Amino acid sequence: MSQRIVTADWYATICLPKVITGLRKINPERRIILHQDNASSHTAQKTRQYLTEGNVELLDHPPYSPDLSPNDFLTFPKIKNRLRGQRFQSPEEAVDAFKNADLDLPANEWNKCFENWFERMQMCVNLRGEYFEKQ
């Protein structure tokens, strides 16, 4: 398995176009608002330019706020629990197991995730961006 660093070039020319094109195929008229963290590939000029040209709005993410990232508070913990104790023969086998566990998350878990995300975003607004965990 080849390891790859997520650069702004890859993110803005390969990753985002796949996501945005997929969303536009589902509903071409729908407004797209993207929430992403503050990783350098997400905040780079090339990425911001791509999103602006593609008429994609950004929902700001406060710095140092893993409590607002659905991957950090839902996806990774759930998948980590499902894969706990398993051993893999290769990196590819581990990636496949992760993908399968992610795809196996039921729709109601994703619904709860986004409900929780909105609650967390509101908590962040109420606390004026201060860090929080389980409050």
Largest distance between two CA atoms of the chain: 47
pTM of the entire structure? 0.56
pLDDT in tens, 82-135: 899 999 999 889 988 988 888 888 888 878 887 887 787 777 777 766 655 554
Give the lowest-confidence range in 46-60, 63-77, 80-94: 63-77
* Contacts of 66 by beta carbon, 8 Å cutoff, 6+ apart: 72, 73
Q: How confident is the model at residue 2 (pLDDT cuts 50, 70, 90)?
A: low
Domain ranges of the chain: 1-61, 64-135
Phi, psi of 60 (to 5 degrees): -60, 150
| pLDDT over 70 percentage in the chain | 88
Q: How confident is the model at residue 1 (pLDDT cuts 50, 70, 90)?
A: very low
Joined tokens for residue 117: 């995300």
